[in-house]
Structures are given as structure tokens and as C-alpha cells.
Chains A and B, each alone.
Chain A
């Protein structure tokens, strides 16, 4: 049966169903129990599964993530909630030096099946450090998978896939989209495979690559430019940021010969550069114009009164599309 759910509801449902389905599952995080999480992603789950499986932890990200690594190595499947992406930093060492490397160092003897979920991204009028988009940090680390859904359907399917993945997955939830819209979501469990992008809209003139909250901006720009300039855009939601879906990227640009990458992360060393590099390696001779990046700037995400000026807008994406189209 299908009902319409918001992204946050879809995420809650994914965890609820996995908790019911697999007794090894545990949720850990700050304020996720009695309070149901600051965004209510774990609403009521403590009442359903008890405080031993839905755990309000002390305020300590290294403790949460480090303990989750131990739990994962010894038979549990922990799903960690970090309150906002920027608050993951105290636990960064645990992620990079341990979660990502345990399989490698023990030559496959131990592995770390865990998911770290966290809201990310700007546009919610958040205080400082509530709006970062630093997916690059994680995509850069061998041993981690990085996922960022943009719809309720994908959020549920990708989160279930992440919870069933044998390796650590950083699961980035675009805060701005938590309650932005509803979508039909199947009631039963299903998986959206990690590592597979999705062609959201087919087109022939320009490929637009985006993820998370930027997908909506990309779609918006594509619609406007089609109306205003008659250009046909192919919009691709990457969904997984590591490993990138090279085949889908390449198939699209071979068809269009032009591409724009949109991300709200800072430009320098953002994933846009990696996508351009893949295109360069695999499809350079098909390209009719240099690939354009429309991104957040190389500045800290500013205070919220001007955060909209930091974020890529449909207007900026349209300019990028026109630049590649008129090259």
C-alpha cells in the first residue's frame, strides 16, 4: 500500500521497520529517546523498542560513534543520529581512523556495519554551524559510503539499504527537505541500491547533476529554462556520493555533451570537481563545452540573514546552463 509521507516520516518508518525486523538493530544519539530527536526522526521509537535499543546517550560524539563501532564489531547494528552535521567533528577521528579502517586493518576479520545519520545543509534559518554541507570530508575517506537522498521514497529505500550494508554509511539528510513535501511511499520494506544515481528528468541538451536539497533547485532551473529558452535538460539525482554512479554520469553526458554540477558545498574540492574529473576521464571527446559548477562559495556558511545568498539558486543554475549551451 502507498501513502504520502514526508521525508522525516519515511526515515522514521525505515528505522521502525528495521528495528522490528532485526533484533541486532540499535539507535543511539543525543535526545533521540524521550524527546524523539530534535527533528522527531525517532518519535515514539523508544516506547516501542525500549531504552536499550533506542538509547539517549551522553552528549559526546566521540563516545557515541566510538561505542557504536564496538557495538557493530560485536554483533549489533547501530544507527547513530548526530544532531547536526557540524556536530560530528568530535567523532571525526572515530569515523576516519576506525570505522573506515577496521575491515582493512583486520583483513576482513572485523567489519563495522553501522549508519551515521545526520541532517545537513542550509536554508532553515539555523544558528551558526547548523547549515554545513561538508560531504567531501567523508567522500574522501576510503572505507566509508556516503548517501544523500532528496525524496521521501529514496530516503526510506536508501536508509534500509544502508542499515543492511556491511560497511559504515554516512547518511546525509537534507534538513530543508525533511517536511518540505510529501510523496507516495510504499508501506513495506524496500531497498534503493547504494551507488545508483537516478535520472529524474530525461533531456537532450544539458545534463544537470545534483543531490540533497539542490536537486529541487536543479529541477526548478531545468523547468524554467525549458520554458524560457527551449533547452531540454537531463536532471540527475546522484543519491550516493561515494561510490559515485559513473555509468549514469557518463551515459548522460555522452548524450548531451554539456553538463552543470550543482552543490551547496563550498566550490573548492567539492564533489563537483570529482564529477568533472570522471567526465574528463571517460567522455571528454563527447563534450561540447566545459562543465560548469554552480556551488556554495569558498566561505564559511554565513549567518542566516544572508544564507540564501550563499546557496545556489535556480537563477544561478540557469546562468550556468546558458553558459554551457552558448559556449
Chain B
């Protein structure tokens, strides 16, 4: 029942650029699972960036684990974990620049955090707070998108406007393998092709849409091959190789900013855990061995750590320091979130319109009548 994905050392396959090779083994990879450089860094990746990549991946992994614990302790609601997908999210977000538009799903808070969303804000979101999806002022981080694939079309619109207004910014739509089945996926790619918008469609193919393996999601072998139908570039990469992710993103961004239109990136990865804290992956896959296999053989953090150590850029002391530092940051963010003023009943009436409707105004005054407040459970 497993959908095994075989990673190889081949270079990028751009399906719309003559080669229409859609074989499962064609994956662009730069850093092998063993931590060896197997591709060209193209003179673009410096040591400081590599170290930052590692630090960010450790940060978000710790954040993810903390969140699961908070959910278990009842301090947070249902949570969608991303452990295993750090290279895809961190690598893509690090390639972006402030002013770019980011459209995350419910699983992409690692990308949001790396792009500049505060961790406290992300905690608030999962705590069911009304102010959990506000973007930092100077950035365009959109609220996590819950209805599958629907955000993809927005990333066409924002990119289109950027192009019309001569702004040098891209829009990136995050989505999953399951999202590729929705009609909005097709409409987004087609629009982006027609209007040549600077949109990057970044798919994290983690092999599953809740319980459904990609082999049952589609008869297509890959998601990247769909790009051929729209005549836009599509590329399939090792989503656990942060160098491949970052370099591919940079290239797609350059194309977009040069007026060459959208790119579809399929980053092949795996979520180690459950779909959400409400899900039991043992129901539908050989959870222990699959998860263990990916952890042991293809972990995104491990391979970068090995590489950095071999380059003399990392060691155990730094690791211990880093873990302590990120845990401190996460704890501070949690304190901030838990001491943030709680949402109040009347908050639900704010921001429905620029000018509230008379109906809502009337209803709000009933809600906050002091005599009725007593009946409202805490």
C-alpha cells in the first residue's frame, strides 16, 4: 500500500522544454542523502546561507514538535505537523524576498515563519485566536489556506498585479499532491500560462492526501508533468534536499522576474507524522517502517548537517548551542502567545465589512448587553 518514491542523482527535468521524460526516478538533487554534493551549486550558495538553512530547519522542527506537545496538553487545537518537509518549506521561503507574496496551506507554517511570520502568531492561529493569521506589516504572508487548492488562483492574481504594476515580486502558492486533483489547480496553471504571471506553484508531494497515496490520487506518475499541458516549465526535485529546493526556487524566481512567466515545482518529500493531530496514519499506511525509512535514509536535516560537518562548518558544540537557542526562542514565543489578550466575543463582529451592517451591529449590541454576558460560558 506504500507509494515508494525513488530518489536519484539526476539533474532537473524541465518537462516543457523538449524533454518529456516523466520517469519516477528523474529527480533533481544537489545534496545526496549521505550529505555529499552531487550537483552544481552554481556559485550561488555561500556558507553563511547554508548554515542559516540548517539553523532554520532545526528551529522549525523544534517548533513542530513543541506544537504537537501543546496540542496533547490541550493548550492548542488540532494541529497539522510538517516534520520531514523542512527542506521544502525552509529552502523555498529562504529563496524569497520581502515583498513577495506567500500563499501557505495549513501545513506551511515553517515557510511562513522563515519568511518572517512570528512564531507567536502561528501559535495563536492553532489556538483558535481571532488574530492568528495577520501578516507582519512589511510582508505579504496570506492566512493559511484550508480549502484545498483554492489559494493557487489567488497567487495568479497577485502576481498578475505585480506584473501590471511593474513590481519586481513573485507570488508563491504552496500546495500538496492531493491539491493537484482539484479544478482550481488546473485553472490556476492555465491562467498563469495565458497571462504569463510571475507565479511559482510549489507542490510538496508528500505522497499522501490524508490517507490516499498519490498512486490513487492520479494516473499521472508525477505532478510536474502536468506543466507540459499548459506549456509552462515543470520540474521535479528532491524536496528533502534544501540545496535543490533553494536553487530551483531561485531559478524560477529569476525566470518570473525576467518576464518568462510561471513555473511548477514538484518537491518530493514525506510527512513523518500524522496528517493532523486528529489523524491516525496507522490506519492507512505502514506508518512505523515508512516513517523510519524516510527518517533514516532521506532526512533533510541530517544530510545538511553531515555536509556542514565535513566542510568544517558545524560540530556538536554548535548543535547543542543551537538547540538551546531555538528552544528559548520557541518558549518565548509561547509565552507571548499565551499571554496575548484572549479573543473577546465582540471580536467576531469586527472586520466583516469596512462598514458594519445594521444587522450585525444590532446583534452585537444584544451580545454585549451586560445582563446576557452572565449566560455566556467561559
Contacts and interface: CB of A to CB of B under 8 A. Distances in A.
Interface of A: 30-31, 33-36, 38, 56, 58-63, 86-87, 89-90, 125-130, 267-268, 297-300, 302-310, 313-316, 319
A125 B77 contact: yes
A30 B210 contact: yes
B33 interface: no
Contacts of B148: 59, 87
Nearest to A43: B283
B182 A299 contact: no
Contact of A34 (B1, B178, B184, B218): B1
Contacts of A315: 372, 374-376
Contacts, number: 130
A300 B352 contact: yes
Contacts of B348: 297, 299-300, 302, 306, 309-310
B195 interface: no
A304 B212 contact: no
B370 interface: no
Contact of B183 (A34, A90, A306): A90
27 contacts: A31-B210, A33-B211, A34-B211, A34-B284, A36-B283, A58-B216, A59-B212, A86-B147, A90-B184, A125-B77, A125-B78, A126-B77, A127-B106, A128-B146, A267-B359, A298-B352, A299-B352, A299-B360, A300-B352, A303-B128, A304-B128, A305-B342, A307-B128, A308-B376, A313-B376, A314-B375, A319-B375
Nearest to B79: A127
Given A299-B349, A309-B376, A313-B376, A59 B359 contact: no
Contacts of A89: 147
B181 interface: yes
Contacts of A59: 148, 178-179, 181-182, 209, 212, 217
B209 to A, nearest CB: 5
B352 to A, nearest CB: 5
Given A30-B212, A59-B181, A313 B377 contact: yes
Nearest to A310: B348
Contacts of A306: 128, 130, 343-345, 347-348
Contact of B218 (A38, A58, A314): A58
Contacts of A319: 372, 375
> Across chains A and B, which 3 residue pairs bring their CB atoms closest together, nearest first?
A315-B375, A304-B128, A35-B211
A297 B181 CA distance: 35
Contacts of A305: 127-130, 342-343
Secondary structure call for the A interface: loop
* Among B210, B211, B278, B345: residue with most chain A CB under 10 A: B211
A61 B106 CA distance: 19
Secondary structure call for the B interface: loop
Contacts of A126: 77-78
Contacts of A125: 77-78, 128
B295 to A, nearest CB: 23
A314 B343 CA distance: 22
A165 B208 CA distance: 35
A87 B184 CA distance: 13
Given A89-B147, A319-B372, A304 B360 contact: no
Given A59-B209, A297-B364, A314-B375, 17 more contacts: A31-B212, A31-B284, A33-B211, A34-B211, A35-B284, A58-B212, A60-B181, A60-B183, A61-B182, A87-B147, A90-B184, A127-B146, A297-B348, A303-B130, A303-B132, A308-B377, A309-B376
Contact of B367 (A30, A62, A90, A309): A309
B232 to A, nearest CB: 21
B2 interface: no
A127 B364 CA distance: 23
Contacts of A298: 352, 357, 359-360, 363
Nearest to B209: A59
A127 B78 contact: yes
A128 B145 CA distance: 9
B345 A309 contact: yes
Given A34-B211, A303-B343, A129 B376 contact: no
Nearest to A318: B375
Contacts of B178: 58-59
B273 to A, nearest CB: 16
Contacts of B374: 315
A303 B284 contact: no
Contacts of B211: 31, 33-35, 56
A38 B276 CA distance: 11
